[in-house]
Amino acid sequence: MTQLDIKSEPQLIPLRDITALLVKHLGMHEGLWDVAFEIQVGIGQFGPTAPDLLPGAMMRIARVGLTKAQQIGPLTVDAAEINPASK
């Protein structure tokens, strides 16, 4: 996993490392997993003043989680490899 410099801002973590952290945090020991995001979209009129309103959209990440990988990709982690079960 990526080592972070705790003295600098902001602390950015690669998505594959987020996947690995979630697998470990959830105590998963088998399967292929990808990071998943729940994205919410809002649409409406946006602008700095009423005469300048234009149609637009806003997106936000509501939740982060894991999804079972359908195929191996660049963000896929193998739980058995990164979080082996204790013997």
Res. 6: pLDDT tops 70: no
Using alpha carbons only, give the angle 69, 71, 77 rounded to the nearest 5 degrees: 50
Q: What is the pLDDT of residues 7-34, one digit of tens each?
A: 767 888 999 999 999 999 999 999 999 9
pLDDT in tens, 40-74: 999 999 999 999 999 999 999 999 999 999 999 99
Does 2 score more than 70 pLDDT?
A: no
Q: What share of the chain is helix, strand, coil (3-state, %, to 5)?
A: 20, 35, 45
Omega before residue 84 within 30° of 0, cis: no
Domain boundaries, the chain: 15-82
Could you tell me the pTM of the whole model? 0.76
